[in-house]
Copies of this chain bind each other. A is one copy, B any other.
Amino acid sequence: MVQVAIIGYGTVGSGVAEVIERNAESIAKKAGQKIEVKYICDIRDFTDDPNQDKLIKDFSIILNDPDISVVVESIGGLKPAYQFVKDSLLAHKSVVTSNKELVATKGWELLKIAREQGVNFLFEASVGGGTPIIRPMHQCLAANQFDEIAGILNGTTNFMLTKMAREGLSFDEALSLAQQLGYAETIDPSADVDGHDCCRKICILASLAFGRHIFPDQVPTSGIRTVTTEDIALAGQLGYAIKLIGRAKKQEDGRVFIEVCPALVDRASQLSTVDDVFNGILVRSDMLGDVLFYGRGAGKLPTASAVVADIIDTVRSENIHQSLYWEKVDEDFLQDAAQDVCGHYLRVACADTAKVLEVAELVFGQLGRCESCGAYTAFVTAEQSQRDFENARDKLAALLPVENCMKVMPY
């Protein structure tokens, strides 16, 4: 029998306890032995909780109990999660977490300690909720070199964009609805709508894919506050959906370009049909080409089931996962945003399509379709570097009132 401690008894932590209890038999079969929760550590009181006998408040009990070989960290945030995880690994216990902030900022260090201690530090649930992505990337795609990752990684903003597209809600209306449904934080929804959550997740995936830690503060990040119903309607007329995309791409010189931004995705692409609270992650690699992983990006039981799969994995594996690893390097291996090559969408406050097309073609050269909706006209440019695009956009803005622009994804 393996004894596990859960630290943090919120949504994910209580879900982990529930999954372990509900599927105990099949989990024992897969792990090769019974898995039991011995402690649940939380500073709060939970009266009348069925796990009363397991609840403790002092983390050092877990640290000093040699029977505990796996610690589940589901506190979230960095304080005190970082210290608890570090201490657990140093005490020769494997750690499983769903904490994306922890992995995105301290992953390299915790992976290093885990390797030195010969234990596992696993975090499948930190990206995509329960949707498998971390393990497929480092195990199933182990024979591949990664070229690019692009994902719809935040369920809240994807729900909002879907509502804006399907029901014509404004950003504010969609945010209110997401808050009412508990998808977005009521007091400060910025982690979702300003792209920070998505940024942490693409950092984790890119670090794993390219072997070097990428920190969230290195990533140009913008959210969906600037996306209007008009943008969504015009993008639709042009054949695209608007999605909040986190993406990382290996350049020819070996450097990596990474960013988070709202972008246009072709309606023929699988990513464009990832709607509502679902996540979809496109992984492009040298041998395999494109694969896409799609599933519910959040939720108590989905996330908890990914945590429990990691527990089973570490219980079963006698050796540690060599392939789940990346390092911190000092050299600069990120490509400057100005060099990224993309097509661009522009929306201009002018209903005269012919005039917009004429002026825009003077600046951008030949364009494809041009669509108008109400007082606005929109079009998509050919691919060019961000630097060239910005110069051209500034020229256009001197001639016409440019209201918004977004990148067009090549998938």
A residues adjacent to B (C-beta < 8 A): 19-20, 22-23, 26-27, 29-32, 124, 130-132, 135-136, 138-145, 270, 273-274, 285-296, 299, 301-302, 304-309, 311-313, 316-319, 322-323
Q: Is the CB of A288 within 8 A of B145?
A: no
A397 to chain B, nearest CB (A): 37
Closest CB pairs A-B (n = 10):
A132-B140, A143-B308, A291-B295, A287-B305, A292-B294, A130-B288, A143-B305, A30-B323, A132-B136, A287-B301
Given known contacts A292-B294, A294-B294, A141 and B132 CB-to-CB distance under 8 angstroms: yes
Q: Is the CB of A141 within 8 A of B302?
A: no
Interface centre among A124, A295, A299 (most CB of B within 10 A): A295
Given known contacts A142-B312, A308-B142, A23 and B302 CB-to-CB distance under 8 angstroms: no
Which residues of B lie under 8 Å from residue A27 when comparing CB positions? 142-143
Q: Is the CB of A302 within 8 A of B289?
A: yes
- Could you pull out 17 A-B pairs where Cβ atoms are within 8 angstroms? A124-B140, A132-B132, A132-B136, A139-B139, A139-B312, A140-B306, A140-B309, A143-B307, A143-B308, A143-B311, A287-B302, A288-B296, A288-B301, A289-B302, A290-B295, A292-B293, A293-B293
Which residues of B lie under 8 Å from residue A144 when comparing CB positions? 23, 305
Which residues of B lie under 8 Å from residue A140 when comparing CB positions? 124, 132, 135-136, 306, 309
Closest B residue to A279 by beta carbon equals B291
A351 to chain B, nearest CB (A): 32
Q: Is the CB of B145 within 8 A of A26?
A: yes
Which residues of B lie under 8 Å from residue A304 when comparing CB positions? 143, 287
A132 to chain B, nearest CB (A): 3
Contact of A19 among B270, B287, B301 (CB under 8 A): B287
Q: Is the CB of B32 within 8 A of A322?
A: yes
Which residues of B lie under 8 Å from residue A142 when comparing CB positions? 27, 30-31, 308-309, 312-313
Which residues of B lie under 8 Å from residue A20 when comparing CB positions? 143
A361 to chain B, nearest CB (A): 31
Q: Is the CB of B143 within 8 A of A309?
A: yes
Alpha-carbon distance A158/B367, docked complex (angstroms): 34
Which residues of B lie under 8 Å from residue A302 when comparing CB positions? 287-289
Q: Is the CB of A322 within 8 A of B318?
A: no
A82 to chain B, nearest CB (A): 26
Alpha-carbon distance A70/B399, docked complex (angstroms): 67
Contact of A294 among B270, B307, B319 (CB under 8 A): B270
Contact of A291 among B29, B293, B312 (CB under 8 A): B293
Closest B residue to A25 by beta carbon equals B145
Alpha-carbon distance A260/B17, docked complex (angstroms): 38
Closest B residue to A132 by beta carbon equals B140
Alpha-carbon distance A264/B142, docked complex (angstroms): 36
A20 to chain B, nearest CB (A): 8
Alpha-carbon distance A308/B139, docked complex (angstroms): 10
Interface centre among A22, A301, A309 (most CB of B within 10 A): A309
Alpha-carbon distance A311/B124, docked complex (angstroms): 22
Closest B residue to A308 by beta carbon equals B143
Q: Is the CB of B295 within 8 A of A289?
A: yes
